[in-house]
């Protein structure tokens, strides 16, 4: 099987010749630039290559074709034209991470330093704007800086939280068409891309770090409080967002046709380590109708499989995801309460493709020994791939930059041993 055939069979729950594996296709299955730098050196012995940061919010490195082949990966991601900070992924320039790792960043990646030495990011690279995100002086990624303006309850307008959503321009449609067509014609990888504007209430997006002067409810705590205290406001935002999202799906379905296999739809986290962020009833009333409308539109117009990412202890919500039309669940956080691998595979393996779960990125991968990593990876594969399909291997979440390269190599050794490579 080619990688594309392998992914397609996996998505259709048909037998495959070997396990499907992904690294770096999206912002949830990625690898920090420092870890990628060390991994390339260990695998390829190339000490001159400088890794590009394609997702500067999390400082994720771009997995290149040479490494994709060396690791026998199956999926290629189509990168979004713009970053989380509102500038394009183009015009690369040198940057040095706090730990000394060299990398390349987009031309508009413009940071200043505060008194502590922390790195301050500015929206759209405009240094005249207040900073929108911070990376500690000894850190590896950015966190948004709240830019919540004071407001009066009677003056709240849901349109203010809709300013970041728009129908895709002709230029943006052309970009997606060209990138997807090139990947489809020139490679045999499975193709994954992120649909813009289809994640309802994704807390990483609420602060809108790409906007110079965001209006509306942008504070994380205020947004969560609004779910209970201002549901009318949240629903109005979601209604406006949905109208635009459905139009963009229509445009992209026409432009990309069947050259895409997986569409990332939502990264809204509904779980914590111990439970869900909201009740099942709240999910049904506030989130599910919009998620279902997006899934229905995709399934009506395309053959794409719908990919949803939700961290945490989301076991009670999984039947709701399935009913809404979700095809692929990520990251499958087995370390959270109620997320037992065997139970998940037994109860939901017929209805969902599990994408993730491969190794605990909170504990085992960063802090375990190579032997512990190897054993956990083999155990997870035995559970989720027991029927020979319906599972795409990746770590539970992104590989952080401070993960020992020996542990990453142990992970891939376990994967390749399971694949017979």
Distance CA 118, CA 357 (A): 33
Per-residue model confidence (pLDDT) at position 375: 99
Residues in CB range of 98: below 8 A, 6 or more apart? 119, 135, 136, 137, 138, 139, 140
pLDDT of residue 55: 97
Q: Which domains does the chain have, with CATH numbers?
A: 3-28+71-79+149-419 (3.20.20.210), 29-70+80-148 (no CATH)
| DSSP-assigned letter for residue 287 | I
What is the residue-wise DSSP string for 192-251?
EEEPTT--TT-TTTTT-TTSSS--S---HHHHHHHHHH-HHHHHHHHHHHHHHHHHHHHH
What residues of the chain score a pLDDT lower than 50? none
What's 271's DSSP letter? Answer: B
Residue 95 pairs in a beta bridge with 103
The angle that helices 405-419 and 370-384 make with each other, rounded to 10 degrees, is: 40
Determine whether 30 is exposed, middle or buried from the number of CB atoms within 10 Å of its CB (0-12, 13-18, 19+): buried
Does the pTM surpass 0.95? The reply is yes
Report pLDDT for 419.
Answer: 97
Residue 31 burial (CB < 10 Å; 0-12/13-18/19+)?
buried
Q: What is the pLDDT of residue 231?
A: 96
pLDDT digits (tens, 9 = 90+) for 76-124: 999 899 999 999 999 999 999 999 999 999 999 999 999 999 999 999 9
pLDDT for 222 equals: 96
User: ∠ CA(62), CA(393), CA(19), 5° rounding?
Assistant: 115
Give the pLDDT score at 421.
85
């Amino acid at each position: 099987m080619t990688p594309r055939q392998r992914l397609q069979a996996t998505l259709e729950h048909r037998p495959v010749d070997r396990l499907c594996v992904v690294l770096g296709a999206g912002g949830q299955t990625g690898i920090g630039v420092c870890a990628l730098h060390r991994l390339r050196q260990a695998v390829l012995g190339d000490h001159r290559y400088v890794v590009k940061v394609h997702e500067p919010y999390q400082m994720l490195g771009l997995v290149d074709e040479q490494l994709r082949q060396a690791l026998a990966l199956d999926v290629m991601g189509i990168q979004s034209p713009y970053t989380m900070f509102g500038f394009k992924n183009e015009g690369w320039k040198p940057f040095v991470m706090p730990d000394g790792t060299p990398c390349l960043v987009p031309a508009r990646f413009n940071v200043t330093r505060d008194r502590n030495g922390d790195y301050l990011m500015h929206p759209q690279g405009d240094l005249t704007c207040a900073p929108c995100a911070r990376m500690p002086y000894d850190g590896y990624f950015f966190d948004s800086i709240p830019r919540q303006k004071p407001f009066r309850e009677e003056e709240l307008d849901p349109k203010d939280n809709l300013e970041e959503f728009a129908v895709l321009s002709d230029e943006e449609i052309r970009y997606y068409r060209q990138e997807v067509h090139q990947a489809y014609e020139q490679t045999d990888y499975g193709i994954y891309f992120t649909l813009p504007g289809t994640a309802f209430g994704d807390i990483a997006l609420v602060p809108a770090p790409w906007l110079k002067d965001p209006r509306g409810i942008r504070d994380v705590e205020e947004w969560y409080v609004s779910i209970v205290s201002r549901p009318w406001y949240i629903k109005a935002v979601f209604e406006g967002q949905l109208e635009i999202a459905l139009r963009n799906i229509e445009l992209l379905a026409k432009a990309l046709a069947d050259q895409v296999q997986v569409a990332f739809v939502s990264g809204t986290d509904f779980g914590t380590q111990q439970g869900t962020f909201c009740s099942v009833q709240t999910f049904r009333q506030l989130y599910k109708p919009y998620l279902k409308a997006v899934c229905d539109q995709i399934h009506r117009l395309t053959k794409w499989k719908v990919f949803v990412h939700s961290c945490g202890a989301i076991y009670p919500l999984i039947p709701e995801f399935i009913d809404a039309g979700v095809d692929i669940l990520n990251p499958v956080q087995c370390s959270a309460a109620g997320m037992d691998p065997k139970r998940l595979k037994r109860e939901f393996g017929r209805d969902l493709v599990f994408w993730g779960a491969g190794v605990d990125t909170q504990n085992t991968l960063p802090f375990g020994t190579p032997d512990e990593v190897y054993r956990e990876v083999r155990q997870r594969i035995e559970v989720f791939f027991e029927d020979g399909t319906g599972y795409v291997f990746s770590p539970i979440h992104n590989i952080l930059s401070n993960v020992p390269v020996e542990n990453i190599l142990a992970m891939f050794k376990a994967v390749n041993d399971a694949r017979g490579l």
